[in-house]
């Protein structure tokens, strides 16, 4: 059965946005933009799951699912400042681990 983790609901309006980037075999990338605490929380949870249970199969993000066996590496970095208005960062993130 899948195990669910929900990132804490904090005041994310004041937090800078970060990008969690999954680089997939074959050159594709999947990026998830959220508040800094949500991105770091997701990365920490991913690391914790791998340490406790071994390789993670699938990770479900708000925009889709990622087969972790196809991921070459995961990176995070601050979202660059842009001149145009940005959408609000995600207030909550639900990750389902399989």
Q: pLDDT tens digits for 2-20?
A: 555 555 555 545 688 999 8
Instruction: Specify the pLDDT at position 1.
Output: 45
In a domain, 43, yes or no: yes
In a domain, 91, yes or no: no
Measured CA to CA, the distance from residue 58 to residue 70 in angstroms comes to: 10
In a domain, 57, yes or no: yes
Range of the domain at 55: 15-80
Domain count, the chain: 1
Measured CA to CA, the distance from residue 98 to residue 71 in angstroms comes to: 15
Each residue of 59-88: pLDDT tens digit? 887 777 888 889 998 899 998 877 455 555
Please tell me which residue, 10 or 36, carries the higher pLDDT value: 36
Instruction: Specify the pLDDT at position 72.
Output: 92
In a domain, 85, yes or no: no
In a domain, 8, yes or no: no
CB atoms within 10 A of CB 58: 13
Which phi and psi (to 5°) does residue 19 adopt?
-120, 125
């Amino acid at each position: 059965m899948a195990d669910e983790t929900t990132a804490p609901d904090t005041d994310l309006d004041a937090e800078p946005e970060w990008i969690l980037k999954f680089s997939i075999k074959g050159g594709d990338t999947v990026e998830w933009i959220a508040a800094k605490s949500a991105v770091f929380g997701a990365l920490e949870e991913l690391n914790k799951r791998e340490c406790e249970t071994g390789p993670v199969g699938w990770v479900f993000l708000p925009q889709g699912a990622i087969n972790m066996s196809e991921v070459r590496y995961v990176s995070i970095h601050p979202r660059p400042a842009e001149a145009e208005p940005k959408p609000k960062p995600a207030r909550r993130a639900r990750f389902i681990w399989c």
